[in-house]
Amino acid sequence: MQKFLYLSLSPEALIASNLDPVSFGSYYATGDYNRSFDQAIFFEIDPNFKSDYLNMDKFESLCVPHKDGSPHKSLYLSVYRVLEHLPLSAFKSLYLTTSDGRTLELKKGEFKPDPDERLFLYQDLAPSRPRVASVLNPKEYSDRLTSSERLVNMKKIAFCDLKLGELEKNPELGRADDLPYKNISHLRDCIREISLKNNKNNKVVLRNMAGELLFRTVKKGFYVGGDGDMLFYPMPSKEELEDKYYTWWRSALTNFGA
């Protein structure tokens, strides 16, 4: 039976399993009896990477089927400081699972900054979960937060960018009717403050995200950065979501957990 290794971002954990990514996503979101409704965001990780910190020496011996032959669905190898101890070279695809257990695979892509973009909204996913308005593009944001020259820094960070709609061009008067964020007035204030060019690059909009990430708010995709490098997992276009990935997209629009 195959053995897989996953990095869950909610919560941050390294999990071994005999289930393939789609089956694991369904199990992780809904449980054995489809009575749980929890969104899942996780990466498949190369099980051959080496670590002096994580319990990889237990992977082969413990990730085995049960005595009755059924697969070992989830075996937690670590639940603390996992992301920072995973080399970027070990990351495979990213998987987004809706709260009713439907999974979408995102493959790595090439990140190219858009010189016309000036304002950004980021949702950090691990190791902490603030929502941040920024004038830094994703690579600049990743490099800054993981820089060892900063008084407070993280070894690695996983995050996504969120849609700002008209606020990106006009924080003061841009329409925000279609933005599902709480306290739009505060968001406007944060964007306005960083756009004044007063040497403040980032402004925390929300200290900690509670609940699920609304996948429809993701702008371009997901990012993992550290060690001066960054991985980019582009989100499919709206046209692709409505056509090729319609079943997943419909689930993402209608299911938000309990």
Q: pTM value?
A: 0.94
> What local confidence, expressed as pLDDT, does residue 214 receive?
95
**Distance, CA of 18 to CA of 23 (rounded, Å):** 9
The answer to whether the peptide bond before residue 113 is cis (omega within 30 degrees of 0) is no
Residue whose C-alpha is closest to residue 167's, from 195, 204, 197, 202: 195
pLDDT of the chain along its 258 residues, tens only?
899 999 999 889 999 999 999 999 999 999 876 657 889 999 999 999 989 899 898 898 889 999 898 999 999 999 999 999 999 999 999 999 999 999 999 999 999 999 999 999 999 999 999 999 999 999 999 999 999 888 889 999 999 999 999 999 998 889 998 899 989 999 999 999 998 877 789 999 999 998 899 999 999 999 999 989 999 999 999 999 999 999 999 999 987 654
pLDDT score of 258: 43
Are 38 and 29 in contact by the 8 Å Cβ rule? The answer is yes
For residue 8 the two structure tokens come to 């869950």
